[in-house]
Structure 1
Amino acid sequence: MKRRVLTTLAIIGLVTAPLPALAGEASPSMLADACAACHGTDGKSPGAIPSIQGKKAGYIEQQLKAFKTDQQQGTVMNRIAKGYTDQEIAAIAKHLGSK
């Protein structure tokens, strides 16, 4: 009986333990992967979408926050930016931006 209780408690602990990927702790690289679909893998857009290659991290962060708060208008960027926390936006900007 005691063994069964301990086993059950151990299983509950494993099942409820937070996993970084499930808890929303994505790496900056993983967060920035979504940008590549439109802005290109190297940040150099092949078409009408503005390139982010060579932009300063502070500028990227400023623009993403402006999209998030609807101070900057875009076609889809407002909706995309709203999906990120300010901390995630800062991480994306740092990852993508030049020094």
Structure 2
Amino acid sequence: MRTPLPGLALLAALTTGAGGAEMRPPPGASSCTGCHAEGSAMGVLAGRPEAEIVGALDAFRGGTRPATIMNRIAKGFDAQESQAIAAWFAAQAPR
């Protein structure tokens, strides 16, 4: 079982500027919001557990979770990018 700490540390490293400036989404996260925004049929990612998001991306990338589009999208992210994206969404408050 993965702990959320490595993803949060990676997220902090990728999304904070000098002096701990305000966090911004890691590269790739903006591609998720089109289908996973508030009120969308695909469900909101904000506030979901980091391990759940990482697991889903891994399963899509590996072809063990059926999909029409997510399997292709997930293949565009390596494990480190997936972890940063998952940590970002897990840290966001659902609206």
TM-score, with length taken from structure 2: 0.64
Secondary structure, aligned partner of 1:79: helix
Aligned length: 70
Q: Which residue in 2 is equivalent to 1:72? A: 65
Can you give the 5+ residue segments of structure 2 that lack an aligned partner in the other structure? 1-13, 16-24
User: Alignment RMSD, CA only?
Assistant: 2.0
Instruction: Give 3-state SS (helix, strand or coil) of 1:30's partner.
Output: coil
Identity %: 34
Which of the pair has the greater relative contact order for Cα pairs under 8 Å at 6+ separation? 2
- 1:29 alignment counterpart: 26
- Cα distance per residue 1:12-66 (max 9 Å; x no partner): xxxxxxxxxxxxxx865232011011112xxx3x232122222111110011110
Unaligned ranges ≥5, structure 1: 1-25
Larger helix share, 1 or 2: 1
TM-score (norm 1): 0.62
